[in-house]
Amino acid sequence: MKMNMNELMKQAQKMQSQMAKIQESLADETVEGNAGGGMVRAVFNGQGEFVSIHIEKEVVSPDDVEMLEDLISAAVSDGLRKAKELASERMGPIAGGIGMF
């Protein structure tokens, strides 16, 4: 059974519209990356944009700047990974079998 071109185009437009709505809603959702047991927290929105960072005073030491840098890097990496997972989770049902996410 063949699907006519009009039906195919309508389905593609519907999917594109659904994906755009999800992308918009991802901007309103946040995820938090953590490092050092939560001593450094990096917040991103669901689109992977950086929102904020929180650093507990206990990890700020002028004698060990490298450790703080490592904690920040780890928290940022964790936050970005979580943002990608969130986007994939939200887009997955729509992208389904087309291998987009």
What is the overall mean pLDDT for the chain?
Answer: 89
Among 4-18, 36-50, 73-87, the minimum mean pLDDT is found in 4-18
On whether the CB atoms of residues 58 and 39 are closer than 8 A, the answer is yes
Residue 33 has pLDDT above 70, yes or no: yes
Q: Which domains, from first to last, does the chain contain?
A: 5-98 (3.30.1310.10)
Average pLDDT over residues 18-38: 93
- On the 0-12 / 13-18 / 19+ scale of CB atoms within 10 A, 32 is middle
- Model confidence pLDDT, tens digit, residues 48-90: 999 999 999 999 999 999 999 999 999 999 999 999 999 999 8
How does residue 15 score in pLDDT terms, banded at 50, 70 and 90?
confident
**Contact by Cβ (8 Å): 53, 73:** no
Q: Which residues pair with 45 in a beta bridge?
A: 30
